[in-house]
Amino acid sequence: MSSTTHYPAATVSQAVETHTLAVIVDNEPGVLARVIGLFSGRGYNIDSLTVSETEHQKHLSRITIVTRGTPMVIEQIKHQLERLVPVHRVVDMTIAGPAIERELAMVKVRGKGESRVEALRLADAFRARVIDASTASFVFEITGGSGKIEQFIALMIPLGLVEISRTGVVAISRGPETM
Partner 1 sequence: MSREMTGAEMVIEALADQGVEHLFGYPGGAVLPIYDALFHQQRVHHILVRHEQGAVHAAEGYARSTGKVGCVLVTSGPGATNAVTGLTDALMDSVPLVVITGQVPTHLIGNDAFQECDTVGITRPCTKHNYLVKNIADLARVLHEAFYVAKTGRPGPVVVDIPKDIQFAKGLYQGPKNIQHKTYQPKVKGDLERIRAAVELMRHAKRPLFYTGGGVINSGKAASQLLREIVKLTGFPITSTLMGLGAFPASDPQWLGMLGMHGTYEANLAMHDCDVMICVGARFDDRITGRLDAFAPGSRKIHIDIDPSSINKNVKAEIPIIGDCGHVLEDMLRLWRTGAAAADKAAMAAWWKQIAQWRARKSLAYKNSKDIIKPQYAIERLYAATKGKDVYITTEVGQHQMWAAQLYGFEEPNRWMTSGGLGTMGYGLPAAVGVQMAHPEALVIDIAGEASILMNMQEMSTAVQYRLPVKVFILNNQYMGMVRQWQELLHGGRYSQSYSDALPDFVKLAEAYHAVGIRCTNPADLDAAIAEMINVNKPVIFDCVVDQSENCFPMIPSGRAHNEMILGDAAESIEDAVTEEGKMMV
Of 12, 114, 125, 177, the one binding partner 1 by CB under 8 A: 12
CB of 77 to partner 1, least distance (A): 9
Residues 79-98 that bind partner 1 (CB under 8 A): 79-80, 82-88
**Strand spans (E) along 1-156:** 17-26, 48-55, 60-69, 87-92, 99-110, 129-134, 137-144
Of 18, 37, 53, 162, the one binding partner 1 by CB under 8 A: 37
CB of 41 to partner 1, least distance (A): 5
Q: Which is nearer to partner 1, 30 or 175 (CB)?
A: 30
Q: Radius of gyration over alpha carbons of the chain, in Å? A: 20
d(C-alpha 22, C-alpha 49), whole Å: 10
By CB under 8 A, residue 1 contacts partner 1: yes
d(C-alpha 67, C-alpha 87), whole Å: 18
d(C-alpha 25, C-alpha 62), whole Å: 6
The total number of residues written for the chain in this structure: 179
Q: Which is nearer to partner 1, 59 or 112 (CB)?
A: 59
Site residues (CB under 8 A) for partner 1?
Answer: 1-9, 11-12, 26, 29-30, 33-34, 37, 41, 72, 75-76, 79-80, 82-88
